[in-house]
Amino acid sequence: MKVTRRQGLAVLPAVCLALVMQGLVASVGTAQEPPRVVPSEQEVVLQRADRARVKGDSAAPIRIVEISDFQCPYCARYFADSWPVIDSLYVQSGIARYLWISFPNSTHPRAWPAIEAAFCAGAAGRFWPMHDILFQRTEEWTRTADPVELFTRWAVEIGVDGDSFAACLRNDLTAPLQVADYDSAVRSGITSTPFFVVGDSIAIRGAVSTEQFRSAVDSVLAARGLKGPGR
């Protein structure tokens, strides 16, 4: 698990190819709102899912890209140990804009449908709530006989219309986005997850400690004349 600047520069062009449609993250709904419907038109689904996986201020001075797999244990470790800190100190504070890219490992047979569930929820503006549930409840969806039934139930739990969500899964509406992510990662030479690109220049391979991750982010900020939070 090492951090290298050269690797970060190498991965940037290919990753950027997958980000052409990026926009602001969709706003998060409340429990009082009616269920959010997943569109039936694939083009609309892809555009909304692509936007929804971006979190943070569009004017943030740096960007952090995560290449991840919901069935990857090291990705789950990062989610549990470091993500809450990175989210709070850098993303929610407006310092960094965060992008999640999917890269399912061939040894993880349920990674693809889990990614599809997150993107279908994203098409209804609920990517990040589904992202959190998938990491928090890994044992459930990786062992159940029918993960789609679970995913649909959880979609309803976070305020997404169950019928339109199930249709999105059934019709593989987010497949082009998932294929684009995968191809981009492969072209970039990425072979494992999690993998991060910080500030379009520094690469982090693996679930490094929170302190190591913060040091990498703060070094990018320092290079731009900015100070990291709480430093």
What tens digit of pLDDT does each residue of 39-52 get? Answer: 999 999 999 999 99
- List the alpha helices (DSSP H) in the chain: 5-17, 42-52, 73-81, 83-86, 111-122, 127-136, 138-143, 147-157, 162-170, 175-187, 210-223
User: Does the pTM exceed 0.75?
Assistant: yes
Banded pLDDT at 30 (limits 50, 70, 90): very low
pLDDT score, position 32: 66
What tens digit of pLDDT does each residue of 72-106 get? Answer: 999 999 999 999 999 999 999 999 999 999 999 99
Q: Average pLDDT of the chain?
A: 89
pLDDT score, position 204: 97
**Ordered domains of the chain (ranges, CATH):** 3-223 (3.40.30.10)
Evaluate if residue 5 carries a pLDDT over 50.
no
Element (H, E) at 196: strand 195-198
Banded pLDDT at 228 (limits 50, 70, 90): confident
